[in-house]
Structure 1
């Protein structure tokens, strides 16, 4: 046999070794790719050391994450990065960084990261606060701006005044239920402005359903299983029986959708038959007729506004009451100002706002000291960018580290002390402050850039009326023997102090009578059977303002 023939015959025997080498190289390549997951790429902001595949995921705390994010900010500076599986997170922890990135370059950072469980499954892709940036979001944003801009917001003052006075009566009758009275106030105010009807009772099942559903959604969206589905997208393709929390998310969506769409359909029907009151749904209905979006979408637009209006206001008020129990000198100073401006014979009114600088400082300090959204709502970069010499890659999640900014001792000395006078001389509204000098901005809880909360005008009026009237009418004292803990916060995406007791008494019989009379006068405006307004309040109309190009 020739040498050529021998070599030819030996070739097949060599083939397996070539295949084996290819397989080995393939395994090595895949292994290297897998091991590169979680690694911090060159050029990213600094951050804690990573491990393969997980990155920094193993360092993420299950409880009180805002404290760890604050600690990392002290260690790594105003901009740092976290590697969470396949996702890069950029954390902005200074007022300047938030202004420079999220506000000045808002066109790049107006998007939200994908939330497979929280948005796609548990919200049907319809929840406004975490909706991806695009044509649909821009349409809704313009519509909400029309509804909530400062010109339109002032027309809802009769709703704010009435619900506030009904809340005062609740404090008189059952002061131990003060959290429920605060929640009914903020919820009923929101249902009036959004849907055109009220919540009469602190035991209303729909009232409790809102807070329970939103709390469950927040816990679900922040759960480990939801984060894993976002950080390792392959998990989104698992069968339902293997995918953690998907079935629960689907059930939560159906329950929540029934709640929100039920509110919407009731308001829509009232507008159709002519029994509806002036409310946001009137504008949403007009937009639906021209834009053609579904009732499910309309329900979630209005429901998202209901969440924002109810939760943030009630949590801030609850935090303020805790603060004045611990720092009684704040209560005394605020009451001195209110007594000087208002006197003993009438309740404070919105026209007193400009005459009460210390009370306005209390509002700002409440939002700083007890921010309800401690880590903001995450943004996402729509293209590659850079800041302070660091890369911010397309698709990166960008966090507004609200707690770290508010608790920066250079910005707010002794930050865990409730001290309204740190805002002495600041006569800006919350909106003016958010749009002004970033070093003087009072709070970052309302967001930044194009995602700035548009309910900021209404929130400020509601907080002023509530704080000024509660302090005018009541004395708040700590319960003897109870250990108050300002760090015991409950919640997930939004937080508030854990439940606590308080001793609440009218400051005088005369003031108690004035508050009771005010509630009686309000009830005279309401139908005794339905609890709804007998007629549209003076000065209110279904269409008081129409948008112009200057308003966009």
Structure 2
């Protein structure tokens, strides 16, 4: 009897499902119930009703019906949405010993070649080594030596917004990439048309598409990776082949460029040069060269698009909430004055600016669906059994729009962080936005510092307003966000002008002086 590829896949699916049932009964001898969730179909489970996009919004709605944990099963793959901060802390922080692995990520790791990426790397010595490398350069105290880089590139960002405000998104992307490329590789990004900015944009866009839960069936049915690229429905194989080139370029191109400069004696001090120096052994060989390349590259990859998302949301908020700009500028004028630009030393005495930073993290979170955590062994929580191999998705969007914790959660309100006497402070959104447990983002301090200095600088020298149509009427952006793992506002029109001639002159002077 001749079996087609489709027949083989179906038979393997049925066999896998049967084995899963047997294994599940052995894991759960007490017969405890699974967490509640939408009903599925025999064999395939929730393959038809698992959300293919914006899963965090759907899961937040399901919470009203099913509770804090929402359970689904797709072709034998178990998934739980954790919709509250308390649940995420209980599982991902307090039980991080068993909730800190990563799913297989067949599309990203195996087909697209992102197996070197910290964000998708499974637990093990390699992950520990990479996090140790990154902590050395990105923790709070180490970041102080990079404040000059952040300040200078943010000044360049403000100048770019003044010179060509219609290209605001390019200027945000360029500044973010420039900061990270200088920290990671000691490389100066050009003011226009830099190849590494283009590479980062294309590579991170592919990640945002591929990593969203439910985007590709091969992540739930890994056997599909063996289907030929010409087979009907195998378009994911063709996409993965093209995207793989991007992942390898991200890993190798800037590393080889910097290594060449090290050999020539022209490389500037950076994360990579320091790691190479620390791990150069006899005869000039570099011990763990692949790990060094991967750590520099993941700083470049992981930090670019996420920070771009946050700053883009901040600009959108200024257009939609002009009173935020007014209050922020008033505080800067009163505390810092108008004869210099704000710096990092000012941060502790700018509570409203700090409120804007926190609202930027909360209002439209960069990773609304959170990062997936894989459970290594069966667990019991609140009377429910959670099987080993379950992927837990912390719903950042739901946590940061909790109406009890954040009244009027859909409004951008920095004043919620200006507390009156006896008032309870809302939960710091950084406790959610940068992840949980052992998978917390190692670059969180870099991101936080980048957002602060950008907010303070833009408000000090620019006015961001609604654009006007041909009839002179203000254009109000719809405030919609693109689909994808990383949440970006849809392009919107805005007008960006200097606060005053003196502010523009002060910015130019700061750039010329390298302050």
TM, length-normalised to structure 1:
0.82
Aligned match of 1:209 in 199, 202, 213?
199
Contact 2:17 2:76 in 1 (8 A): no
Matches within 5 A, 1:412-427: 412-425=406-419
Give 2:236's aligned residue: 245
Residues in 2 aligned to 1:97 and 1:89: alpha-carbon distance in whole angstroms: 15
Give 2:18's aligned residue: 33
Give 2:486's aligned residue: 494
Give the count of matched residue pairs. 482
C-alpha displacement at 1:292, in angstroms?
A: 3.6
Aligned match of 2:288 in 283, 293, 316?
293
Contact 1:474 1:506 in 2 (8 A): yes
Aligned match of 2:429 in 442, 460, 480?
442
CA shift digits 1:477-508 (9 cap, x unpaired): 1123434122x111411111011111111111
Give 2:268's aligned residue: 277
Residues in 1 aligned to 2:53 and 2:192: alpha-carbon distance in whole angstroms: 30
Give 1:93's aligned residue: 83
CA shift digits 1:449-474 (9 cap, x unpaired): 11111211122221111111100111
Contact 1:95 1:438 in 2 (8 A): no
- Between 1:446-455 and 1:301-310, the stretch displaced more is 301-310
Residues in 2 aligned to 1:252 and 1:521: alpha-carbon distance in whole angstroms: 41
Corresponding position: 1:339 with 2:329: no
Matches within 5 A, 1:21-60: 33=18, 43-60=33-50
Larger radius of gyration: 1
Corresponding position: 1:451 with 2:439: yes
Give 2:364's aligned residue: 370
Residues in 2 aligned to 1:381 and 1:255: alpha-carbon distance in whole angstroms: 30
- Between 1:211-220 and 1:137-146, the stretch displaced more is 211-220
Contact 2:311 2:451 in 1 (8 A): yes
Corresponding position: 1:399 with 2:393: yes
Corresponding position: 1:484 with 2:457: no
Residues in 1 aligned to 2:395 and 2:85: alpha-carbon distance in whole angstroms: 9
Aligned match of 2:179 in 189, 192, 208?
189
Residues in 1 aligned to 2:478 and 2:225: alpha-carbon distance in whole angstroms: 40
Aligned match of 2:311 in 311, 317, 320?
317
Root-mean-square deviation (CA), in Å? Answer: 2.7
CA shift digits 1:129-184 (9 cap, x unpaired): 11111111111111111121122111111111111111121122112211111111
Residues in 2 aligned to 1:245 and 1:288: alpha-carbon distance in whole angstroms: 39
CA shift digits 1:502-527 (9 cap, x unpaired): 111111111111111112223xx9xx
Q: What secondary structure, in the 3-state scheme, does the structure 2 residue paired with 1:440 have? A: coil
Give 2:112's aligned residue: 122
Contact 1:371 1:402 in 2 (8 A): yes
C-alpha displacement at 1:221, in angstroms?
A: 3.6
- Between 1:438-447 and 1:111-120, the stretch displaced more is 438-447
C-alpha displacement at 1:58, in angstroms?
A: 1.1
C-alpha displacement at 1:233, in angstroms?
A: 3.0
Q: What secondary structure, in the 3-state scheme, does the structure 2 residue paired with 1:500 have? A: coil
Give 1:263's aligned residue: 254
Residues in 2 aligned to 1:229 and 1:267: alpha-carbon distance in whole angstroms: 36
- Between 1:306-315 and 1:339-348, the stretch displaced more is 306-315
C-alpha displacement at 1:54, in angstroms?
A: 2.5
Residues in 1 aligned to 2:161 and 2:492: alpha-carbon distance in whole angstroms: 16
C-alpha displacement at 1:36, in angstroms?
A: 6.7
C-alpha displacement at 1:68, in angstroms?
A: 0.7
Contact 1:36 1:53 in 2 (8 A): no
C-alpha displacement at 1:107, in angstroms?
A: 1.4
Residues in 2 aligned to 1:32 and 1:420: alpha-carbon distance in whole angstroms: 50
Residues in 1 aligned to 2:141 and 2:17: alpha-carbon distance in whole angstroms: 58
Give 1:105's aligned residue: 95
C-alpha displacement at 1:34, in angstroms?
A: 9.3
Residues in 1 aligned to 2:19 and 2:122: alpha-carbon distance in whole angstroms: 28
Give 1:5's aligned residue: none
| Structure 2 stretches lacking a partner, 5+ long | 1-10, 26-30, 469-473
C-alpha displacement at 1:206, in angstroms?
A: 2.3
Corresponding position: 1:359 with 2:353: yes
Corresponding position: 1:513 with 2:500: no
Q: What secondary structure, in the 3-state scheme, does the structure 1 residue paired with 2:297 have? A: helix
Residues in 2 aligned to 1:406 and 1:335: alpha-carbon distance in whole angstroms: 26
